[in-house]
Structure 1
Amino acid sequence: MDDDESSGADVSPDVDALREAAEQLLVRKLRSRSLSISESRMVLKGYEQDRIRLETGVIDDIIDDFCRRGYLDDTVLAEQLVTSGVERKGQGRVALSRALSQRGLPRDVIDAALDELPDDDADRALEFARTKAQSLSRLDADTALRRLVGQLSRRGYNGSVAMNAAKTALAEASFRGPRSGVRFVDSD
C-alpha cells in the first residue's frame, strides 16, 4: 500500500462504490421486509466495506432518495403494521403502539395510525377471548379467567377490557358445554 492510499487522498471512487453497494444491500433488505426510516438508517450505519463506513451525509442522501422514490414511507408502514396487528394477530392499541415504537417509527406517525383505528378494542378482545375460551373449559373458573385475561393483556388490551371480555367469553363457553371428549357408555 503506498502513501496515497493509506492517507485516503483518492477515496472518492471507493466511496461511490461503497454507496452503491450499500444501496443494493438496502434494496435487498426491503425486498424481504418493509423497513422504517430508522431501521434503514441503522442498516446503512452498520454497513462497511474494506473497513470504510458511510458518512452521515451520504446515509442521509440515500434515505432521502429512497423516500423520494417511495421505497421508504413510515406512514404507510405504520398503517400496514396496524392493519396486520389487528386483523392477523388480534392486537389491542397498547401492543400495536409498542410494536410500532420498536420499529423506530416516530410518535406522531404512531399516533396518527392508531387514531385511524375504530374504537372497537372491546369487540376485538371479546372475539379473541371467544376463540380461546372453549380450550380453557377443562380448568377451574378462576384459573381459566386468569389465563384468558393474561392472554388478552399480552395482546395489548387494557385491564378492564381484558377482564370484561374474558368473563363474557367464559360465561358463553360454559353454557355451550363441552364440544368434544370421550364419553363412556355402560353397555350392560
Structure 2
Amino acid sequence: MDNAQYQDMGSGATFRRTARESTIRANMFAIECAAVLILYWYFLQSYVSWKRCSLLLLFGIVYMARLNIMARWLLPRELAMEELTVVIAWIACILSSISIGAACRGEISFLQFWLALVLYSFGSWLNSWSELQRKWWKAKPENKGRCYTLGLFAWSRNINYFGDVILFAGWEAYLSERYKSEWPGYVSSTKSFIPFVC
C-alpha cells in the first residue's frame, strides 16, 4: 500500500510517519476496548456456561490488553482514525461471533478447555514476543530504517499474524465438536486459510 492511501494527519505527513504527540487517541482506543469488553462479558455471563464463560472472558481480557499495549507502547506512531473506528468495529464483530457461537454450546470438556488455553497462549506469545523483539531491535540507532529479519521473524515474515491465527484457533475450537457429521467432509474439501493453497 503506498503512502498516498494513508490518511493525512494535518501536517502533510501520513499517520505511519507521524510521531505520537499525545496519548489522546490511545486513551480513546482503550475506552472503546473497555466498552466492547464489558458488552462481551455481559453477553457471556448471561448466555454461556460458567467454565466456557470464564475461559472466553480471560481470552477477551488478554486480547484487549495486548491490543492496548500495542497501541500505547509498541507503536511509536500516532493511531489513525481507521484504527479508532474500523478496528474497534472489527474487534466487536469478532467477539460477538465468538460469544454467539459459545452460547450455542453446552459445557466445555476438560480436553477442550486445556487445548483452547494452550493454543491461545502459544498464539498470544508468538504475536507479542515477535513484536517485542522487533521493537527492541528497531530502538537501536544503528537499525533505524532497516528491515527486521531476526528472532521469530527469521522463521516467517508474518509470524505475528500467524500467532493471531493460532490464538483464534484456540478461541473457536468448538466447530469440529458442534458439527461432528459435517466437519470431516468440510475439512477434506476446503482449505483452512488461503483459498486453493493451504
TM-score category, normalised to shorter length: under 0.3
Question: So what's the TM-score if we normalise by structure 2?
Answer: 0.24
Question: So what's the TM-score if we normalise by structure 1?
Answer: 0.25
Q: Flag the structure with more relative contact order, 1 or 2, with Cα contacts below 8 A and sequence separation at least 6.
A: 2
Q: Which has the larger radius of gyration?
A: 1
